[in-house]
Amino acid sequence: MRPRLLLPGAATAALLLAPAAGADAPGTSGGPAQRACKPVRGGDIYVGATNVRCKTARRVARRGANTGRAKGWRCHVRGPGPHAFGHCHGTGSRRGAKVHWAVND
């Protein structure tokens, strides 16, 4: 086989087989959190935090569960009722941070 044909074929195969960087699979909760935080709203909303302080995670989870959005965060919500579970990714200076929540009604 010619070396000139091997390199483009290998590069194409690598691109097709590589997963998207930093992407969550559709319909998932965004993966596990690094730590559990104190629940909010009287214990109804369980909160998880990754690369962010629990104080911030609790604030974001409260807003995300109530409205489906939080300033400075890109949120994904699922479930019936008032945003039953979801997660938010930090944007800008918060990049790499992730907050998870689940409503226990």
Beta strands in 8-81 (DSSP E): 35-40, 45-50, 73-78
Chain centroid to CA 55: 18
| pTM of this structure | 0.66
Local confidence pLDDT in tens for the 105 residues of the chain: 555 555 555 545 444 444 433 444 444 445 677 888 999 988 888 999 999 999 999 999 988 888 888 899 999 888 766 667 888 999 988 898 999 988 886
Half-sphere exposure of 5 (CA within 13 A, CB side): 2
